[in-house]
Chain A
Amino acid sequence: DAKTTQPTSMDCAEGRAANLPCNHSTISGNEYVYWYRQIHSQGPQYIIHGLKNNETNEMASLIITEDRKSSTLILPHATLRDTAVYYCIVRVYGTASKLTFGTGTRLQVTL
């Protein structure tokens, strides 16, 4: 499995874009990048996933570099409710039973 590296913590001002990086330099060609977040004491919440093209949904955008060795999750206008731990996960599609969560990035959104 490709391993991921994320910063332990980040800060972002409310209303600004939050850019959360993830390094996955050993990613294989058939592995997707997934992002989840966990708001204090709640269960994780799916955000977005992608293979090689940039993806956008109502929650966030995912930018994957052309060599696929790193990606960035973008929350375009962070709010206090986006304060959470964000997990970057790399997996072959269709193997949810092998999904593993690391320790993620703790994003603190401040006024």
Chain B
Amino acid sequence: EILMTQSPATLSVSPGERVTLSCRASQSVSRNVAWYQQKPGQAPRLLIYDRSTRATGIPARFSGSGSATDSTLTISSLQSEDFAVYYCQQYNDWPLYTFGQGTKLEIK
């Protein structure tokens, strides 16, 4: 099973700041990484797939990048609605996809 490790667990930031979230895979996952946003009481929402492709309707302030083992989600200018938990997911090891433990963005 491929382990996905996210860092940091919690990030305190101010609105308007640029933020970078990291996700490391225990082995190569090629480009097969997705990012999801989850708010309290809601299901995860797809943001990014194929490491860097924005899903339909996702604002351009969200971007993804990285390498075969290290993926990054960047939010260029945090909006109030962006405070949430973010999960990375690998789907390289099909069908057994696995998620990271999440990074919580909280207001500083």
A binds B: no
| Residues of chain A at the chain B interface (Cβ within 8 Å) | none
| Residues of chain B at the chain A interface (Cβ within 8 Å) | none
